[in-house]
Chain A
């Protein structure tokens, strides 16, 4: 029941904000809705961790939530809250038209991400994934500039193309399940009959879904839309896109993995490992030459998605737990990075890395936030991503996957150098030949967002609460061996 209430809230808020005359009202109820959603999500998560079944059922075989889903749900709810808070000041500051349209789309987008982990029927999950694209396209193009519209177009074309490929994959999966008379066409039902399913069909469906949804996760070579869309969208949307949308789609692949792993002939983990390594490598080298700081963080998303896939591809309980921690760390850190970048953009009115220098002297809060975000996302100690990346490397070496692990270390090191190099010049660099304009003061809600969003980034690196640790372990167990 609580789950149904949870997903109704963003829908209700979307409807309410479509009636609002003033933009302010839409922002306020969106924020209120986000608080309630986070509260309910926290409650359900606790219930799952402490119940014996580790499962919450709203409609049997249709809408249920387990630990793996709960992690995704929780991340969406957290980033939704900070994004709603940042939106308040951002929309006021921008003074653009269409504020009502923005909040309607924003809530629908959040709704589509919330239902992905809840739905159990795979073909409906496909619909939910497609909805995440459709509801966010107009947000990406919201600024209505040539660049934003171009980014939105690339985004919709590439991801829907991928979705169509994935759709065939889901239909083939259905075909394979029908032949062994699966009693329920749900993730759990499929898992039960997976060993009996035809390996050829299972492989076909897995490859189609991996390639198709890979476009949406930003896996190389279908990543080209990602830096455009994730850098042109309004800042709060960037945080949602980069922080949790990619993760929510990645979740679908994580769900599929134990099903296809049942047939060893498929080498599903090898496929995932190779896709992951190629993505990390490509992103690491692209990070070196990037000139736009929002694109910097967007490429870093491609890198992190790759790292997560490598961890998943390595397999085993340790690597899976590390992958879950990486997912959590990435979502909170990346959204924080985009808030910091958005703060810079509001003040400096340029996306060019070379035009931003000496931030720490001109705008201490934004500068400090950017530095913190840069260090955390690059994987410097003592942040959560350092812990998870270290665990992934350790798991890889323990399993004797030396080549993949050392390649991963090499790519992560390059990405680390690239991110720190760009960020430190923006924060500490000398002021000469830079933009003469003084940064305007940041709206209050944006300042508060920077502070609130920084808390999990700092805390998770120092200590992981017991409940969260338990949740991560349960989620890793749901991913199979």
Chain B
């Protein structure tokens, strides 16, 4: 019995570690200039998400969470980089973004604020649910991941980091999900993964079209369509 509890504590601590690293990876996507490095941070983030699913699903053993972890690894760690490399030319990854909307040091402070905000924002939820254990880590971390992803979207101008921001937001929602909805029907998990693949494919194709047609992947600079109504 003692051994079991020790094991549970260790698992819990490891899960907390995965959560911490998950946030660091999310901040990495916000603060890295080079597109290729951003992609690496996203892959790390997905690995930590899968790690959390594996840890939570280990004891008591849950086939379902294990499946979620595997689906994550396959789609985001293996398939996504392959598909993006396949669709987009090498030069897109080598690009360095100099003109982010907000400078990187300021971004880091905003990221810190968002993370702390996510913690306080999710406190009432945790209190209402009266939970112990995993959700106490996963819900605030997941919400922080969601907010950091949204911030990435507003701050980055390159197409690929924007896509990664979208995917990071979904990662955040999933990170909370592995703790609060561990027994979502498997069909839903599969549908979510399928959905993600289509998202990556569609945005990849669109990025390529923008690159070919407009000659840049700095989508933040696209501004032909303006709100005429404001004039």
User: What is the interface of chain B mostly: helix, strand, loop, or mixed?
Assistant: helix
A219 and B180 alpha carbons, distance in the complex (Å): 29
Q: Is the CB of B229 within 8 A of A290?
A: yes
User: What residue of chain B has the Cβ atom nearest to residue A153's Cβ?
Assistant: B219
Question: A138-B205, A178-B181 given as contacts; is B213 within 8 A of A165 (CB)?
Answer: no
A137 and B231 alpha carbons, distance in the complex (Å): 28
Q: Is the CB of A161 within 8 A of B169?
A: yes
Which residues of chain B are near A131, meaning CB under 8 Å? 195, 198
Question: A131-B198, A164-B172 given as contacts; is B214 within 8 A of A157 (CB)?
Answer: no
Q: Is the CB of B206 within 8 A of A152?
A: yes
Q: Is the CB of A198 within 8 A of B209?
A: no
Q: Is the CB of B128 within 8 A of A198?
A: yes
Quick check: is A379 within 8 A (CB to CB) of the other chain?
Answer: no
Q: Out of A144, A224, A290, which one reaches B209, CB within 8 Å?
A: A144
Q: Is the CB of B198 within 8 A of A127?
A: no
Which residues of chain A are near B17, meaning CB under 8 Å? none
Q: Mark A233-272, 1 if CB is under 8 A from B, else 0.
A: 0000000000000000000000000000000000000000
| Closest-CB distance, B83 to chain A (whole angstroms) | 14
A200 and B203 alpha carbons, distance in the complex (Å): 36
A197 and B210 alpha carbons, distance in the complex (Å): 47
| Closest-CB distance, B20 to chain A (whole angstroms) | 20
A171 and B177 alpha carbons, distance in the complex (Å): 6
- What total of chain B residues lie within 8 Å of the partner, measured CB to CB? 53
Q: Is the CB of B188 within 8 A of A130?
A: no
Question: Which of A82-90, A281-289, A388-396 lies on the face that meets chain B?
Answer: A281-289
Which residues of chain B are near A135, meaning CB under 8 Å? 198
Q: Mark B173-185, 1 if CB is under 8 A from A, else 0.
A: 1101100110111
Quick check: is A299 within 8 A (CB to CB) of the other chain?
Answer: yes
Q: Mark A128-162, 1 if CB is under 8 A from B, else 0.
A: 00110011011001001111011111101100110
Quick check: is B153 within 8 A (CB to CB) of the other chain?
Answer: yes
Which residues of chain A are near B230, meaning CB under 8 Å? 286, 289
A224 and B162 alpha carbons, distance in the complex (Å): 17
A134 and B231 alpha carbons, distance in the complex (Å): 32
User: What residue of chain B has the Cβ atom nearest to residue A151's Cβ?
Assistant: B225
Q: Is the CB of A168 within 8 A of B206?
A: no
Q: Out of A141, A168, A291, which one reaches B228, CB within 8 Å?
A: A291
Q: Out of A130, A157, A161, A199, which one reaches B195, CB within 8 Å?
A: A130
| Closest-CB distance, B170 to chain A (whole angstroms) | 5
Q: Out of B143, B195, B202, B229, which one reaches A137, CB within 8 Å?
A: B202
Quick check: is B23 within 8 A (CB to CB) of the other chain?
Answer: no
Q: Out of A138, A164, A171, which one reaches B180, CB within 8 Å?
A: A171
User: What residue of chain A has the Cβ atom nearest to residue B223's Cβ?
Assistant: A150
A167 and B149 alpha carbons, distance in the complex (Å): 14
Quick check: is A216 within 8 A (CB to CB) of the other chain?
Answer: no
| Closest-CB distance, A14 to chain B (whole angstroms) | 13
Q: Is the CB of B222 within 8 A of A228?
A: no
A18 and B83 alpha carbons, distance in the complex (Å): 22
A172 and B170 alpha carbons, distance in the complex (Å): 14
Q: Out of B124, B153, B174, which one reaches A157, CB within 8 Å?
A: B153
Q: Out of A147, A160, A165, A199, which one reaches B224, CB within 8 Å?
A: A147
Q: Out of A121, A168, A287, which one reaches B142, CB within 8 Å?
A: A168
Interface centre among B159, B185, B223 (most CB of A within 10 A): B185
Quick check: is A96 within 8 A (CB to CB) of the other chain?
Answer: no
Find residues 203-227 in chain B having any chain A CB closer than 8 Å to their own CB. 203, 205-206, 209-210, 213-214, 219, 222-225, 227
| Closest-CB distance, B208 to chain A (whole angstroms) | 10
Quick check: is A360 within 8 A (CB to CB) of the other chain?
Answer: no
Q: Is the CB of B206 within 8 A of A138?
A: yes
Q: Is the CB of A146 within 8 A of B181?
A: no
Quick check: is B109 within 8 A (CB to CB) of the other chain?
Answer: no
A177 and B150 alpha carbons, distance in the complex (Å): 27
Residues of A with Cβ closer than 8 Å to B? Answer: 121, 123-124, 127, 130-131, 134-135, 137-138, 141, 144-147, 149-154, 156-157, 160-161, 164-165, 167-168, 171-172, 174-176, 178-179, 185, 198-201, 204, 224, 227-228, 232, 285-292, 295, 299
The 6 closest A-B pairs by CB, nearest first: A200-B128, A286-B229, A164-B169, A175-B180, A174-B181, A150-B222
Given pairs A161-B169, A168-B173, A199-B128, 9 additional interface contacts (CB within 8 A):
A121-B188, A157-B153, A157-B166, A164-B146, A164-B149, A172-B176, A175-B181, A200-B127, A201-B128
